[in-house]
Structures are given as structure tokens and as C-alpha cells.
Amino acid sequence: MSEALTYAKREQRKRTILSYIIAIVMYAVLIGAGLLFDILKPENIDFGNKSLIVNIQGPVTNDIGKGSPIEKDEGLVAEKPAPPPAPVPESQAQTIAKPKPTETVTPTPAAEAKPTPTPITPETAVVQEPEKPWIPGERGPGSRISSSESSVLSPGEGQVPWGTGEAVRITKAEKGNTVETTLGGSSESVGQSLYVPIYLSMPLPEVVPASLFNAIPPEIVPPNTLIASAESRKRAFLNYYSWNEKEYRLTNPVPLEIRDKLWEMLEDAGYNVEKADYKAGRSLNAVVIGFSITKDRQLKGVDILQSSGDSDIDAAVLYGFKRASFWNKSGDTIQGRFVYRF
């Protein structure tokens, strides 16, 4: 009976040892498989927000740095006239020009010629030279305005070289102004879904004649839906304009989000928007805006690359542009450029 119990214990010991060995081997296999998976696991790279750069005309910037993201000081220094030579002291001039007592007549012409030295002539020429206004279009060698096609200001990446590819160009005419939107992609992959007229955000006229104010009509949506009466529109108008016994003058600043309502009133009353005061008699630069459209159709990196020369007009163009909407089916971030010319 004791031998049978001894044999059973031996078998039980064998089974126990075998179970331990199997458990250790299984744990070792699992740990080894985990380490091997970490070593051989491919790196997950997200290309979702990588920029897609295409070959479209780059931003237009001034060589003197006006409106450019990186201003250049050498252009400004080059335009400064050379300082005039130091004037000769009056006592020294009198000493040099002092004639002998016997020759009092001959030195007189030389003394009169001294106050007009020839080195002052270049300074006069530089000061009187008028600055040429910016005019859109191609320019020959030596122009102050250069058109760069080698790189573009990419939001978050600085100056990025242009690549090759298709481009979508959208042009519009707007109350005497022109709009050009360029998108880096094919017409099947990117486009514009909403555009709000930029002129509705522009600075309003400083003076409005009484005849124009009295002609403000009610706001009616065809066929006969009354939105606002003429009196209510005039009351809203008087929140920003005041009567001075002669005309209505702008006395309160109009926020950007309110300007479209006042422009609609003036336009309905017969105001000629194409000859608006904000651009009448002025030579305004084209406003150039760089931007990006992400794969989820978000407008990012909106920045002014070239100024019109008027900060209020720049703010109006930027605000009006941001009201637009775009669609993007390319799966990548698309670069774009917006140009508003007056």
C-alpha cells in the first residue's frame, strides 16, 4: 500500500512540474511576441495636415517692403537723398572773398556765386521725384514690384517653394472692383461654396446728402415681403450719422458687421457704389491675402501679404474674405491666394 502511495506522489510531482514548465513557456512566448510586435510595428504617420503646394503664381510684394511679410530696409535707405555738404562758415567765406582795397569791383561776382554750390543739385532732384503708384500687371526689369513664382508664404511653414500641379482660378467683378481667387488643386477637388461681396464691408462715406437720406426706401423681399420700413431703416442710419443743418455727416464709427446694412440702404437710395468715397481720387494697391483650406474645409492661416496702403480698407477686405466658405475633397491642406483690386 505504501508503494502505491509513493508512485502516486511521484506522478503528482511530475504533473505539477510539467504544469509549471508549460505556464513559464506560455508566459515567455507571450512576452516575446509582444517585444517582437513593438520592434516590427510600422510607424503611424498622419499625412492629414501636410501642405499640398502647387505651381500657381506667387504673392506680389513690394521690393521696398510695403505690405510684405519680411520688410526690406535697404530699399528705404536707397531712396534717401544724400546729405548736403556742410555749409562754409560765413566768416571764412568773407575772408576768402575779401578783395584788395584797390580791386573792390572784381570780387563781387565770385561772392554772389558762392551760395549756390553744384553738389546740392542731386538732392533737389531726388526730393522732387514723385513716387510711382502701384499698377497691377507685368513689369519690366528694375521695377519696384516683383512677382515671385518660386515660393509662397505657407501658414506655420514660412516661405515654401511652389510645386507643380493644377490650379483653380475664380474671378469676379464687383462694383468697379475685381476679385481673383486662386486655389491649389483641380476643379473636382477644391472650390468656393459661398462668397459675400467685399464692398459691403468697406468704409462708409463721410457725408450723405439730405436727398439721399430721404430717398431710403423700405426693405422688401420679392414679391411683397416687408422686412423693414423706411422709417426704421432711417432710425438705424441715424445711429451713426448726424444732421448738421446742411447734410448728414458720419459721427460714430460703424462696426464691420453693421456696414453691410448701411451700404444696402445707400445703394437702395441710389448711391453710386462704383464711385464710393473710400476710393475716389486715390491710387490704392491691390490687397493680396494668403490662406489655407484644411481637409475638413476650415479656413486657416489667413494673412495679408500686400496692403492697399489704408489699414481700414485692409481690415474691411480681410473681414469680407473671411465670410466666404470653401470645400476641399483632396484630403490634404490646399494653399490659396486672394487678390482684391480697386
pLDDT tens track for 248-299 = 999 999 999 999 999 999 999 999 999 999 999 999 999 999 999 999 999 9
Q: Residues 305, 331: contact at Cβ < 8 Å?
A: no
* Overall pTM surpassing 0.85 (yes/no): no
Residue 99 has pLDDT above 80, yes or no: no
Higher pLDDT, 55 or 286: 286
pLDDT for 175 equals 93
pLDDT for 69 equals 45
pLDDT for 165 equals 52
Lowest mean pLDDT among 103-112, 213-222, 241-250: 103-112
Q: Residues 179, 321: contact at Cβ < 8 Å?
A: no
Percent of the chain with pLDDT strictly greater than 90: 49
Domain ranges of the chain: 1-42, 52-75+142-200+281-341, 204-275
Query: Could you give the CA distance from residue 212 to residue 202 in angstroms, rounded to a whole number?
Result: 19
pLDDT for 254 equals 97
CA 119 to chain centre: 43
Question: pLDDT tens digits for 165-206?
Answer: 578 999 999 999 999 999 998 888 999 999 999 999 999 999
Comparing CA positions, the residue from 245, 306, 238, 227 lying closest to residue 58 is 306
Question: pLDDT tens digits for 104-129?
Answer: 444 444 444 444 444 444 443 344 44
pLDDT for 57 equals 53
Query: Could you give the CA distance from residue 200 to residue 211 in angstroms, rounded to a whole number?
Result: 22
